[in-house]
Amino acid sequence: MAEITAAERVALARHAGRPGTADYISALFTDFFECKGDRQCREDPAILGGVALYKGHPVTVIGHRKGKSLQENMACNFGMPGPEGYRKAQRLMRQAQKFRRPVITFVDTPGAYPGLEAEARGQGEAIASTLSLMSALDVPVITVVTGEGGSGGALALAVANRVLMLENAVYSVLSPEGFASILWKDSSRAGEAAEIMKLTARDLVALGAADEVIPEPQGGAHENPQAVFVAVDRALSYALDRVVREGDFAQRRYEKFRGMGTPRSRKEGL
């Protein structure tokens, strides 16, 4: 079997039939109770969150939601949250801290929405304050990058003790299209950009930005969602056990991100 190119993985990560956060919640968790709204002005469906049981224990689940039909896609703004979505996530994270339950996040977004109202309501501030809050949570935090990890809008849900990535998921500083258009003033060279950006799951593990690759069925996650749920469940449960066993959640998470790109992270990665 020929190696899948980075550009092909980008296409798989964006595949319309790919399982999303809602699918993982119904497959892996029971008794899900959705919590809506940022308590300030709006409910942002681009982020789905709530409380559920994972293997019988309460957890807080938060993830990007793209929606399945065109109508859902529109309602969820294609998984591009506004500041209200991140503020809702913060609210749920604070509750997780309060009730001492782990936080599990699913990342799948082209990025935070670049819109007029999003800017007016402080998209930058919303992401920044989510990052700082998440970095200090004294409960276990596990992230699964299931599809597209687009820039700061993805990272805002991914300051985790363990960051797991599906084999064909991608995670990058900006989209290959954006990258190509800045670098070569030509967004049609996105495929080329994908190859040099080092955005695949394996690239990220090598760079210390992700911890583990979760294998996908041949042809991609949409070919056999059941198999993917089993694989994600196994990896998630293992990661959660490990993080719980290690303890010292905030400190370990701090050290992990403190070392990003510096010799400390290299040591950790070995």
Partner 1 sequence: MRDSFRQRRERMIQLKTRREGKETDIPRKHIAKAVFGKCPDCGAMVPKTELARTLYVCPKCGYHHPVGAYLRLSMLLDSKSFRELDEKLTAPNALKFPGYDEKLQAARKATGLTEGVVTARGKIDGRMAVFAVLDSRFFMGSMGVALGEKVTRAVEYADRAGLPLIIFSASGGARMQEGILSLMQMAKTSAALERFGAHGGLYISVLTHPTTGGVTASFASLGDVTLAEPGALIGFAGPRVIEQTIGQKLPEGFQRSEYLEEHGFVDQIVPRSQMKETLSLLLRLHEKRGEDHG
Stretch binding partner 1 (CB under 8 A), from 59-67, 138-146, 169-177, 215-223: 169-177
Strand-pairing partners, residue 103, are: 60, 141
Cα(168)–Cα(64) distance, rounded to whole angstroms? Answer: 17
Cα(185)–Cα(174) distance, rounded to whole angstroms? Answer: 15
Number of neighbours of residue 33 by Cβ within 10 angstroms: 10
DSSP states of 61-94:
EEEE---SSHHHHHHTGGG---HHHHHHHHHHHH
Among 39, 55, 57, 258, binds partner 1 (CB under 8 A): 258
When the beta carbons of 39 and 57 are compared against partner 1, the nearer one is 39
Among 27, 131, 227, 244, binds partner 1 (CB under 8 A): 131
- Report phi then psi at 30, rounded to 5: -125, 165
Site for partner 1 in 201-220 (CB under 8 A): 203-204, 207, 209
State in angstroms the smallest separation of the CB of 94 from partner 1.
14
Q: Is residue 39 a contact residue for partner 1 (CB under 8 A)?
A: no
Q: Is residue 132 a contact residue for partner 1 (CB under 8 A)?
A: yes
Among 17, 115, 215, 219, binds partner 1 (CB under 8 A): 115
The residues near 259 (Cβ < 8 Å, ≥ 6 apart) are: 208, 265, 266, 267, 268
When the beta carbons of 68 and 198 are compared against partner 1, the nearer one is 198
Site size for partner 1 (CB under 8 A): 51
When the beta carbons of 63 and 83 are compared against partner 1, the nearer one is 83
Stretch binding partner 1 (CB under 8 A), from 51-59, 94-102, 123-131, 226-234: 123-131
- Reduce the DSSP state of residue 192 to 3 states and report it: helix
SS3 percent helix, strand, coil of the chain, rounded to 5, is 50, 20, 30
Q: Is residue 7 a contact residue for partner 1 (CB under 8 A)?
A: no
The residues near 265 (Cβ < 8 Å, ≥ 6 apart) are: 208, 256, 259
**Which residues of this protein are in contact with partner 1, per CB under 8 A?**
112-116, 118-125, 127-129, 131-133, 135-136, 151-152, 155-156, 159, 171-174, 178-179, 182-183, 196-199, 203-204, 207, 209, 253-254, 257-258, 260-263, 266
